[in-house]
Structure 1
Amino acid sequence: MACFTGTTCVIENIAMSGLDFIYLDLEHTNYMLDEAFEKQIMAAKLHDISVLVRMADDNEVAIRKVLEWGADGVVIPHCKTAEMARRSVEGAKFAPLGRRGGETNVRAAGFGYHNFDWNAYIEQQNRDTLVIPMDEDFEFTDNIDEILDVPGIDAVNFGPIDYAVSKQLKIGYSMGEEVHEAYKTLVAKCRAKGLGVLGPVVPPTQENLKQAIADGYNMIILGNDMWHFQKALKELVNDQVAPVRKELLGE
């Protein structure tokens, strides 16, 4: 589940719910790379849930910081070119895959405790840290082979809404034909390379979940905290409050 509120108690509730990972957002929120955002990562790690962070861009310093703070992977929005994907890998992975700078006094390295070993740390981070560019622009499809050929990419996050926006198409919960074709192309090419495909399922009904899995998603975002909160409020007002108000006030 994605988290837009950044509230630690909400993050902890998502972590304790039984879901597999939490998707923290730096693109569409007012959070910056500061101690408050580090606290969001710490709240999730406290309950041993995996953490992905959607970055604001491909800035290598920002990528390095969230990974050193303990995130398990980074999602790079609006990745339109292989060069942008390559910069993202360089910021997230150590040589030979990238050029990430190293330091022991960070959470990801256990702050150098417990017989810290540089070689083991580098190997573990390169193996387990995920770099996930977003396919949410028509340019990604135009350049898909070059992007997926970049060593160090682990999965791709499909964004149907922004993809439709980039093509100036009508937007809805279900994919239009042109967006669906781009998605099918992505799935086929990712499968051929052993890459994961991440994407949203909204609304997260059993039927939609099963269809998403059948279509090729193997990493699924079940909406976000604000969407679920708003849904609960609408149901409360429409199903519980409105009938009582109508009865009492004749509205």
Structure 2
Amino acid sequence: NLLDFTLTVRPPKGNREWITRLLDAGVWSLHVPQVDTPEIAQEVVNASLYAPDGLRGMAGVGNHTDYESGPAGETQRFLNEQLHLAIMFESQQAFDHIDEIMSVPGLHAVTLGPSDLAQELGVFGTPDQAKVIDDYRTRLIEAAGRHGLDVSMLVGSIEQGEQWIRAGAKIICYSSEVEILRQGIMEAAARLHAVK
């Protein structure tokens, strides 16, 4: 990988169809949205992992196996070990079930969808948004520590990333590819317009 880190994909929905489609295409890391209950978390694990850890459908040789074949059990074990599965807490309902959700075997990390959560809590766009969401981020970090899960934090600035790394986040999802591209174009345009 050119950037020396694994690219993570957020499926539009955390269902079997999207999860298996992405994994069969060769994705190794998922951030699954809207995991509000332990039952949904279990469905995500079942769709993501081969037996005995889950119920992922068999796909044969393809992108997901780097077009290599091998003994069935060995290949499935390898693919299960390669997968990094993070789930997103984006509702009050998810936080009401935080310990039960994090107890589901097969999860590696948890993250928080700050905008969706703020919207549901009625604080989106208000002066209280940052403090309220930071309180939920702290709750997420504390619960993840109890369950031995890593925390992934979605951040919009380097300073926010530094803040949450110090607080215990192990994975930082910085901005978005569109925003990074937009910032780069704006910087280039400003520099070129300034040339006299």
TM-score bracket for this pair, using the shorter chain length:
0.7 to 0.9
1:214 to 149, 154, 166: 166
1:152 to 100, 106, 130: 106
User: Which is greater in Rg?
Assistant: 1
CA offsets 1:48-78 (integer angstroms, 9 cap, x no match)? xx23221111221321121122111222112
The CA RMSD over aligned residues, in Å, is 2.4
Q: 2:115–2:124: 8 Å Cα contact kept in structure 1? A: no
Q: How many residues align?
A: 196
Residue identity (%)? 23
Q: 1:91–1:99: 8 Å Cα contact kept in structure 2? A: yes
Matches within 5 A, 1:1-251: 15-16=1-2, 18-20=3-5, 50-113=6-69, 116-171=70-125, 176-204=130-158, 207-238=159-190, 240-241=192-193
Q: 1:79–1:134: 8 Å Cα contact kept in structure 2? A: yes
Return the alpha-carbon distance in structure 1 between the equivalents of residues 190 and 7 of structure 2: 35
| Aligned structure 1 segments of 4 or more residues deviating by more than 6 angstroms | none
Determine helix, strand or coil for the equivalent of 1:74.
Answer: strand
Q: 1:63–1:91: 8 Å Cα contact kept in structure 2? A: yes
Q: 1:161–1:171: 8 Å Cα contact kept in structure 2? A: no
Tell me, which stretches of 5 or more residues in structure 2 are unaligned?
none
Q: 1:104–1:111: 8 Å Cα contact kept in structure 2? A: no
Cα displacement (A) at 1:176: 2.2
The one-letter code of the counterpart of 2:113 is: G
Tell me, which stretches of 5 or more residues in structure 1 are unaligned?
1-14, 21-49
Q: Provide TM-score, normalisation by structure 2.
A: 0.87
